[in-house]
Amino acid sequence: MASEQDVRAGLRRAGQEHLLRFCAELAPGARAALLAELAELEPEALREHCQRAAAASARAPGPPPDLGTRLRPLPPGCVGSAIRGDPAARRRWEDEGFRQIALNKVAVLLLAGGQGTRLGVTYPKGMYQVGLPSQKTLYQLQAERIRRVEQLAGERHGTRCTVPWYIMTSEFTLAPTAEFFKKQGFFRLDPANVVMFEQRMLPAVDFSGQAILERKDKVAMAPDGNGGLYRALEDHQILQDMARRGVEFVHVYCVDNILVRLADPLFVGFCVLQGADCGAKVVAKAYPEEPVGVVCQVDGVPQVVEYSELSPETAQLRAPDGSLLYSAGNICNHFFTRDFLHAVIREFEPSLQQHVAIKKVPFVDDAGNLVKPLKPNGIKLEKFVFDVFPFAKNFVAFEVGREEEFSPLKNSDSAARDNPVTTRRALLSQHYLWALRAGARFLDTHGTLLPAEPELSGSEDPPACCEISPLVSYSGEGLEEYLRDREVKAPLILDEALAQVLRPQDS
């Protein structure tokens, strides 16, 4: 372990020696922990990080300039759709996706390094229950979708197959996530196929370029953004692990989307048949001012443009069919080939843009007292996973229905949107409609037939509570076997056990 003298010399070169100002009064254990943390910060990199953060904070405030004429929509030839177009093409895409899964060439990678601060919890967001009748967490729903897609691919191709699950955590989420998975028996997945790894942490910096102490013995650190994925892949030799398993295609997604379809055969198959090295799922923007990034072209290359970079006039531009010209909303749901990820790590990662987040960062003052600031006092620099899009040789986008595939959990119930109520409603509404399409007729608790409502507003709960286990249906398939022409009493929880009861005797 590095000595205090060595650590102090490195901090002096970085201009950050103040981080040791309480070192002499710390107990031996706390002093050793602080020195170990500081020893991992390479002095030159720390100096550059703090200078970069200070320079970012000094830039003129206000929105970035509108990109105007530099913008173009994505060319139609590189955009596919799950909700419009040729059904035969969609069948080809799905068949190809299942074929690649059956060949063990597809992995999923979960971005789960963030804390649930806005949600108001102190544990990883994937452990959250939104209040489903089954009380399943986000992690359990995702694990069961992996098991189901493995089953579907295996049945189609007469084989056993595996979709490895890579989970990028952070200093905050690794230990509780690992403990939770172990306690849950890895949701009946093989632990050897669940690979957790940790992204890097970066110091928070005040506006003068000084790294912040959050305690006398602890630097204020934050994950380096979901774009920290690329360094983390290198740090933990994840691509080498993928190569050993034969993985060629990686589906990357964010933990908070309750409707996410892991290793989606339709998306994977579309990307593979298009020869894409990089792809993104998108949903149509709900309205011009919706605060979501837009996937489009800037200076002829694919990019995600933040909503703040679109002027109101640009955001409201319409295509000839009346739809928004810039409507491809980014949902943090991506396809990469392993070769593309390798190229990013080898060539492009150092040039990725660093984004500035101005935050309220708790700190200790010169007297050693903890201060929780009332207004922003610090800067966190982070990279975004989608900032590699411009480096793709063949980028594609794939449009999906919002009501089928996108409902993020970001806020507590005190917020108006993207909260536990809206995510729970989205899942239960989806499952209710799946059941109706399969031929189910719902009865209320008194046995009275409920009117079928195939169109839901999205702002109210469905007429009947229906939850369908991912182990029974991945995306609404196969439910006719259990529900056609059946009268079922709400609430309906269609899990594996009930599916066995409802299965026709001659099947």
Domain annotation covers residue 410: no
Domain annotation covers residue 278: yes
Q: What is the pLDDT of residue 416?
A: 87
Question: Which residue is it, tokens 């204020």?
Answer: 220
449 and 383 part of one domain: no
412-448 pLDDT tens trace = 988 889 999 999 999 999 999 999 999 999 998 888 9
15 and 80 part of one domain: no
Q: What is the pLDDT of residue 66?
A: 67
Domain annotation covers residue 507: no
348 and 450 part of one domain: no
Domain annotation covers residue 319: yes
300 and 448 part of one domain: no
491-502 pLDDT tens trace = 999 999 999 998
Q: CATH number, domain at 465?
A: 2.10.10.100
Query: 475 lies in which domain range?
Result: 420-502
Domain annotation covers residue 411: no
Domain annotation covers residue 325: yes
109 and 229 part of one domain: yes
398 and 445 part of one domain: no
Q: What is the pLDDT of residue 277?
A: 98
443 and 351 part of one domain: no
344 and 366 part of one domain: yes
202 and 131 part of one domain: yes
**Side chain identity at residue 128, one-letter code:** Y
287 and 424 part of one domain: no
100-130 pLDDT tens trace = 999 999 999 999 988 777 898 989 999 999 9
Report d(CA 435, CA 492) in Å as an integer: 10
- pTM for this entry: 0.93
Q: Confidence class of residue 386 from pLDDT cuts 50, 70 and 90?
A: very high
Q: What is the pLDDT of residue 404?
A: 96
119 and 148 part of one domain: yes
Instruction: Count other Cβ atoms within 10 Å, centred on residue 122.
Output: 10
Contact between 115 and 255 under an 8 Å Cβ cutoff? The reply is: no
Chain CA centroid to CA 385, Å: 10
Averaged pLDDT for residues 224-237 = 96
Domain annotation covers residue 412: no
Contact between 226 and 203 under an 8 Å Cβ cutoff? The reply is: no
Q: What is the pLDDT of residue 21?
A: 94
Domain annotation covers residue 63: no
What number of CA atoms fall less than 13 Å from residue 42's CA on the CB side?
A: 5
129-141 pLDDT tens trace = 999 999 999 999 9
462 and 381 part of one domain: no
Q: Which of 231, 225, 252 is nearest to 166 (CA)?
A: 252
In the predicted structure, residue 383 carries a pLDDT above the cut 60: yes
Computed over every residue of the chain, the mean pLDDT equals 93
Sign of CA dihedral 46, 52, 53, 54: positive
Averaged pLDDT for residues 243-258 = 98
Last residue of some domain: 14, 40, 58? 58
62-76 pLDDT tens trace = 566 667 788 999 999
Question: Which residue is it, tokens 């949600």?
Answer: 119
Q: For the sheet containing 378-382, what is the strand order?
A: 205-206, 378-382, 355-359
